[in-house]
Structure 1
Amino acid sequence: MRQVFYILIFLFAGGVHAQVKNYKNPLVDFNFPDPTVIKAEDGNYYAYATNTERKGEVINIQVLKSDNLVLWEELGDALPENPNWASSDFWAPHVVYNKKNRKYYLYYSGESNDKTIGKCLGIAISNSPEGPYIDKGEPLLCGDNFVNIDPMVYQDEKSGKNYLYWGSAHESIKMRELSRDLLNFKKGSEVKEIIHPVENSEIENYENLIEGVWLSKHKDFFYLYYSGDNCCGDEAHYAVMVARSKSPEGPFKKFKNPKGNSVILSRNKDWIAPGHNSLITDEEGTDWIMYHAIDPKDRSKGRVFLMDSINYKNGWPIIKSGSPSRKWLPAPQTN
């Protein structure tokens, strides 16, 4: 029986509210890499993505807005002014809310203007989830090549601690505790290497290079999602893996699927190189994985924005068929 896509629009003072019953990937059909999705204090959802160029305009950090996770409105550039330490390669943004000062903090990476070093991690702040975000004035961390990219902050409500996860360039995924104000590393804290790459040439190995961390808690476990190993281009070979722990500090145990690896989301005939995900929980408690992938029939669009639901089996997150969907499916419950 053919599924039908229903959209019921309610007009009310101050805007348009859309109640959506079904959805179909992609959510947006343009380049939107490394998507982070949050639910802001205003009740809306915001999605942030790596820099792009659209209609001749350079966008440092893309930002979209939705009230239902399906229909998205473009808001422009969340970081319209370059920081004083970088002018390009603004990658993999992540946004958190600071309840103490009611401000939003944008974590991202950028190419240092100092040509003797590589990528740096930066922090920018805004009064609004849509921006504009203003950089704090100096990078949090710099290093060689693209070691310091893909920042993700986890705020542990139970302990009150804040953790930064990051990493790439064939090195380990790293974690370090942040200060209470979210602007620096906690004094006396140390870097922990929590997931290590696995170097071999097997086609099913996506862990030669690992990056794109996302930490999420479900029941008794902290789940560490990560991606590898080549996100883009003609040789794109990318997938999502997962590990879990009883603590945000680890140790993390990797998932093992029937093929003996940690992959939970990989290519199919409709989509290739899915990965670099975030997670959002709808009003009924269902977790949704938000990620990018490439349409092999139209690579020119780049890495477009996709979404699929997560189920849990034997204490591990499972995505139906282990690959991205393309048919009409029930939408998240957001009202």
Structure 2
Amino acid sequence: MGLGHAKALGPHVTEHVGRYYMYYSALPDGTDTYCLAVATADAPAGPFTDIGQPLQCGPGFLNIDPMVFDDPATGKCLLYWGSGFGPLLVRELAPDRISFAPGSEARELVHPIPGDDPENYQSLLEGSWVVLREGWYYLFYSGNNCCGDAAHYGVMVARSRQATGPFETLAQATGEGHSIILETNRHWRAPGHNSIVTDAAGQDWLAYHAIDPQQPTFDAIDDAQGYSRRVMLLDRIEYHNGWPRLASPEAPSRSPQPAPVTE
């Protein structure tokens, strides 16, 4: 089953043995069913060709925001995904990296927490990103609502000794009221859906998007529809007592910050 014409979002590109794999979410025209899809290319800039059938589809937007992680401890290639008011999930991919491993099953990692508490960003979860640091697998994820006038979004974190869990959230481990490490301030609204990049000095950086309150929508697209203008931002991560924190006390930062080391 091909996807035909589809709305595509949330890509993650990885390289393996000289081949590039783009994992993304697709919403086929005329449906309300999101699919996890894969396309491949010989170069990171493409052109990418879809493999012709989705990994899986499901109701609503459960199947969004794929992220692939090669676990050095087990040699397994793992796919993380999830949203739609369901849990974040992980499942092993087959050696071909375009299908699930035979006999594998999805495992639930972090569950949403319903509620209207303004400090609760976990009623909807998405945007998984996993890194391994000092024996800990850190699962960064985002919630609640990325966009629009009611945007309420931030970055949270959980950790585990295994890539497939069980994961313990920052709140569960520390007794804090929430697991948030990045949220709205007076300069930026609704920061989230991060990735982690590591510079030439081994320093981790959180790359993410946020809304500029001074220009929150794209006039050039259609201001009446309120498309949120999400700016790309970068802040340095430090690890304290086994947990990642943003180095800048003003994060999301607006003032000049030390730059990543490039060589």
Q: 5+ unaligned residues in a row in structure 1: which ranges?
A: 1-82
Partner of 2:249: 321
Instruction: Work out whether residues 114 and 122 of structure 2, in 8 Å CA contact, stay in contact via their aligned partners in 1.
Output: yes
Q: Percent identity?
A: 46
The letter for the 1-side match of 2:129 is W
Partner of 1:89: 7
Displacement after TM superposition at 1:167 (Å): 0.6
Instruction: Work out whether residues 266 and 322 of structure 1, in 8 Å CA contact, stay in contact via their aligned partners in 2.
Output: no
What does the per-residue CA deviation read over 1:230-273, in whole Å, with 9 as the maximum and x for residues that have no partner?
A: 01001000000000001101010101378510000001000000
Displacement after TM superposition at 1:293 (Å): 0.2
Equivalent of 2:40 in 125, 128, 142: 125
What does the per-residue CA deviation read over 1:131-184, in whole Å, with 9 as the maximum and x for residues that have no partner?
A: 111100111110001110000010112321011110111001111111011010
How large is the Cα RMSD of the aligned pairs? 1.5
Q: Distance in 2 between matches of 1:236 and 1:157?
A: 37
What does the per-residue CA deviation read over 1:212-236, in whole Å, with 9 as the maximum and x for residues that have no partner?
A: 0000111110000000000100100
Aligned residue for 1:292, secondary structure, equals strand
Q: Distance in 1 between matches of 2:85 and 2:178?
A: 18
Q: Distance in 1 between matches of 2:142 and 2:101?
A: 27
What does the per-residue CA deviation read over 1:161-211, in whole Å, with 9 as the maximum and x for residues that have no partner?
A: 011110111001111111011010000001111100001110000001000
Partner of 2:223: none
TM-score (norm 2): 0.92
Q: Distance in 2 between matches of 1:148 and 1:270?
A: 32
Where in structure 1 do 4 or more consecutive aligned residues deviate above 3 Å? Answer: none
Displacement after TM superposition at 1:89 (Å): 2.6
Displacement after TM superposition at 1:113 (Å): 3.8
Partner of 1:136: 51
Task: Verify: 1:109 aligned to 2:25, yes or no.
Answer: yes
Instruction: Work out whether residues 105 and 124 of structure 1, in 8 Å CA contact, stay in contact via their aligned partners in 2.
Output: yes
Instruction: Work out whether residues 235 and 252 of structure 2, in 8 Å CA contact, stay in contact via their aligned partners in 1.
Output: yes
Cα 1:239/1:86, change in 2 over 3 Å: farther
Equivalent of 2:117 in 194, 202, 224: 202
The letter for the 2-side match of 1:148 is N
Q: Distance in 2 between matches of 1:294 and 1:161?
A: 36
Cα 1:318/1:86, change in 2 over 3 Å: farther
Equivalent of 1:255 in 167, 170, 174: 170
More RCO (CA 8 Å, sep 6+)? 1
Partner of 1:333: 261
Instruction: Work out whether residues 270 and 295 of structure 1, in 8 Å CA contact, stay in contact via their aligned partners in 2.
Output: yes
